[in-house]
Amino acid sequence: MSDQVILFDTTLRDGEQALAASLSVNEKLQIARALERMGIDIIEAGFPVSSPGDFDSVRQIAATIKNSRICALSRAVQGDIDAAAQALNIADQFRIHTFISTSDIHVESKLKRDFSQVLEMATGAIKYARKFTDDVEFSCEDAGRTPIDNLCRMVEEAIKAGARTVNIPDTVGYTSPSEFGGIITNLFERVPNIHQAVISVHCHDDLGLSVANSIAALEAGARQVEGTINGIGERAGNAALEEIIMILKTRQDRFGLHCNANPTEIYRTSQQVSQLCNMPIQSNKAIVGTNAFSHSSGIHQDGVLKSQNTYEIMTPESIGLVRNTLNLTSRSGRHVIKHRMAELGYRDSDFDLDVLYERFLELADKKGQVFDYDLEALLFFENQKEADAHFQLRQLNVQAGSNHFATGSVELQIGDQIVAEAATGNGPVDSVYRAIERATGQHIEIQGFDIGAQGGGHDALGKVDVTAEFEGRTFHGMGLSTDIVEASAQALIRIYNLIHRQQQINAEKSKRAMEEV
């Protein structure tokens, strides 16, 4: 049996299912590019039938990404498979992933069918998907709770029908490692044609066992593993792919397995997913948490000073976290910024050096020393900006104290018009939000408002994340500034722009529909 493990990332599909605000196409493309660069073999880009937005993003990702194979999900029904094929067929090679539940509870209570009907739907869907591509993956949803006889039967028939990869998900994170590894061993012992397909696993983290279960399955012979960056996903999430990669790399001595991923891309990709998805990383999270490589107590610090590997089983550098020895201040030039960005894993094409340098100087003037997390936040914020944004914040002023209402005034560029407005409010942010609302003439229902500091100290960059609902969809805007009121205004303006773009798309669609009539 091969010792190569295929890495399948589903951050953009299963991961995205857990987000309050869906990602824009541009945001999904940024994540797909980072995954490609990390060496992920298969990227599950979405579930095209679920919405026109998902369809468009799968199509654009399939058109853009060349070094990872793009995959899309479909239920075991022809309409879903047609949508997946149409979204993917812009790429030379692609994978269709079709699934149906196999556990008694899902078959009876959810699908309201019997097992033989489900077997027929599964094999019919696989054969149909094979009309579009040789690379068809089939998943037995809720395999972890499926009677083993039924699971063996389903796997055997799926392979006969043409599935090249058969995925065994622990959909509700129910099994223990020995149990889940046992399921895979059983399949290898009992399914006669099993070696004609790659056996994959897809574990959820409801009991905190998703990574342990995935590893147990690899030990038992599975050779594809599915997961998401930072473990984001439905409910408690999916197996964290960065943890699996580092287990395979760090414990090669024990497992003897290889994967294509470049681990030095992990840190940057993890940060990007966290920022774009508005999902902060718990500080003690394995591999990518801020504390994952810091040592607090004297005995540990003494040990690390004497020999780093007394308490570090891997180095921060191995995941792309490179310690800085150069102070970045307003006296620094473009060369050092470029050098540091390269050390952090960014390529020249990831940023416009002049723009980044200009933002860096503005920040350095305000706070003195600029840290890595500041640089990364500036880059992230710049990447979010659009030159032709309909709404742009030109100026903002606030008067606030402890005794009175605050007064905020703003000057916005809206299209080619300059609009100025002022309002009072309950605190500076409220007054500015009211002034923006007056200037735009449009009310937006805010659902979530989070202020955080990017880095430590009272001069840290303030990061504001806002989520807001408009016509049943949730939008996410982020703002970044040393002034939290300005960061709050930027986040709201970003939402106005996202909604404006959505309105334009809707208007174009109804125009096209009218023309067709």
Ligand X SMILES: CC(C)C(=O)C(=O)O
Ligand Y SMILES: CC(=O)SCCNC(=O)CCNC(=O)[C@H](O)C(C)(C)COP(=O)(O)OP(=O)(O)OC[C@H]1O[C@@H](n2cnc3c(N)ncnc32)[C@H](O)[C@@H]1OP(=O)(O)O
Q: Which of 41, 141, 156, 465 binds ligand X (CB under 6 A)?
A: 141
Q: Is 14 annotated as a binding residue?
A: yes
For residues 418 and 440, what is the distance between their CA atoms, to the nearest angstrom? 11
* From ligand X, ligand Y, Mg ion, none, interface partner of 236 (C-beta below 5 to 8 A by class): none
Q: Is 295 annotated as a binding residue?
A: no
Nearer to Mg ion, 14 or 486 (CB): 14
CB of 281 to ligand Y, least distance (A): 22
Q: Is 309 annotated as a binding residue?
A: no
CB of 47 to ligand Y, least distance (A): 5
For residue 14, state whether it binds ligand X (rule: CB under 6 A): yes
User: Which amino acid is it at 11?
Assistant: T
For residues 136 and 66, what is the distance between their CA atoms, to the nearest angstrom? 19
HEC per residue, 84-112 = HHHHHCCCCCEEEEEEEECCHHHHHHHCC
- Rg, Å, the chain Cα set: 25
For residue 226, state whether it binds ligand Y (rule: CB under 6 A): no
For residues 213 and 175, what is the distance between their CA atoms, to the nearest angstrom? 8
Kindly report the backbone phi and psi dihedral angles of residue 261, in degrees, each rounded to the nearest multiple of 5, phi listed first.
-65, 145
CB of 83 to ligand Y, least distance (A): 9
For residue 490, state whether it binds ligand X (rule: CB under 6 A): no
Q: What end-to-end distance do the CA atoms of the chain give, in Å? A: 58
For residue 223, state whether it binds ligand X (rule: CB under 6 A): no
| Sign of the dihedral through C-alpha 384, 387, 390, 393 | positive
* From ligand X, Mg ion, ligand Y, none, interface partner of 139 (C-beta below 5 to 8 A by class): ligand X
CB of 166 to ligand Y, least distance (A): 15
* From ligand Y, Mg ion, ligand X, none, interface partner of 181 (C-beta below 5 to 8 A by class): none
Contact letters for Mg ion, residues 10-29 (x by CB under 5 A):
----x---------------
Region of 165-173, 326-334, 358-366, 467-475 interacting with ligand X (CB under 6 A): 165-173
Residues in region 11-70 near ligand Y by CB under 6 A? 14, 17, 47, 49-50
- Extract the runs of DSSP E, i.e. beta strands, from 400-460: 406-414, 417-425, 445-454
CB of 238 to Mg ion, least distance (A): 6
Q: Which of 99, 128, 357, 380 binds ligand X (CB under 6 A)?
A: 99
* DSSP H/E element including 63: helix 52-64
Torsion of CA 505, 510, 511, 512, to 10 degrees: 90
For residue 71, state whether it binds ligand Y (rule: CB under 6 A): no
For residues 115 and 107, what is the distance between their CA atoms, to the nearest angstrom? 7
The residue sitting closest to ligand Y, measured at its beta carbon, is 50
For residue 169, state whether it binds ligand X (rule: CB under 6 A): yes
For residues 17 and 234, what is the distance between their CA atoms, to the nearest angstrom? 6
Residue with the two structure tokens 């703002």: 479
Residue with the two structure tokens 């996410």: 476
CB of 56 to ligand Y, least distance (A): 14
Q: Which of 24, 60, 123, 171 binds ligand X (CB under 6 A)?
A: 171
* DSSP H/E element including 30: helix 25-38
Residues in region 109-128 near ligand Y by CB under 6 A? 110-111
Q: Is 97 annotated as a binding residue?
A: no
* DSSP H/E element including 71: strand 69-75
CB of 28 to Mg ion, least distance (A): 18
Q: Binding residues for ligand X, how many (CB under 6 A)?
A: 10
The tokens for 300 are: 């540990």
Q: Which of 7, 21, 83, 100 binds ligand Y (CB under 6 A)?
A: 100
CB of 112 to ligand Y, least distance (A): 7
Kindly report the backbone phi and psi dihedral angles of residue 402, in degrees, each rounded to the nearest multiple of 5, phi listed first.
-85, -20
473 alpha-carbon distance from chain centroid: 19
| Positions that interact with ligand X (CB under 6 A) | 14, 73, 99, 139, 141, 167, 169, 171, 202, 204
